Chain A
């Protein structure tokens, strides 16, 4: 069985610097794959390549059998990939409710959207998702006024409104308190029953609580892949994380 998302021999150079080096990865449906690695390993760049923010120098990206290499961001997004950014990207001047409404991007035709005034047809969905990410009581609040954790959840909520089957999350728990991390773990474990997720993360404690598969990147290439137990025993990974290079 072919994976939902396949990366084949990706390469990315910025001038002479090889950021991604012959990196291949396969992600299967309804699983949660964690992408870990030290700083500068190329994790975020990999997400950039998948979502079309940058074009790979060579290699192929295949989503559900369709080659999406080098397509525009919004086109890739329409094929079913949602992305949460490392620095949370939400619409700060809009209310939480409006953020979710914008994320409901079923209809992208601007002309049709000019004549659309009602949120009736997605109101139920919006309430459900707000509930799932724990923001039901914050709907009328300006998104810029939310706490850091709430902003992260709002962004996850927006991905759910967008309804993409494949979600890429870049450091979803960065800067969260322990309580907030636990809540995020619950949200993600709930999500992976219905979605496919790729999570970029540093925090191995967090990874242990959510990952089905862990992929370790180092210097832009694949270092190891396996379950969390296998990874934690892997000597090479230990060297990279604990040995000569520091985090």
Chain B
């Protein structure tokens, strides 16, 4: 039994993963206080470029945009403080509802599909086979290039009228043409692009899958549980912290999708505003309409919304996520 491929793969992975992480944390705690100060100084010194970078390029602009969100700042003409007017105006803005709708639709479609795809592939890739390293790299590859401009352009070409998607689907009786010109399906281009780039959650799922104790599976198998039962009653619960992490990360990312949407749909979110993502609208408000103050208010509304969604997820996770270490509480 112990010579079977599944059990030999597991301890090796465990030896490489878990103990190192634990050891690192442990040794830091054991350091003497005397060397700590100097070490910290060195640490901060090495971090200086990043600290300065994040202050200058992230924290500073964020605070500035928070201030701008309370002004009617025009990109060229400047502006004055107007209190909460921008936030009020948003609710009368016909484009606000549209942008929210498109973005939510995308989140609801892209996140589950991407996670299902990445989990499925992760399960295939945790089997031990010859050349598995190659397959893992190959499946991860799209994620490395997906957010590039080049891929977005190629992606768009795939969905042109008479392009590969149009031809393929017309074999099955599709008459809607290319997705680019069809507002009722155009968002699927971006959903599919997102699904195709499942590399990051896949790697995390793989790490999680390799941590699921084989004993549980073996015991269940002896009791006569089939593959599906073992998946639902062992893999999923044991994997739930990882699933939660991936859901959280992917949701937050999905809300912020910009690059591919901008390239495929343009600032107008074409065709007919069907790809008018929230972030694309922010860009258009700021750099086409030049209403930087109002655009900033939109941006902060997104921050708030993502914050609320995250909070809800953490609440929900309390009941849904199983942490193995908390058994004895």
> Do A and B share a complex?
no
Q: Which residues of A contact B (CB under 8 A)?
A: none
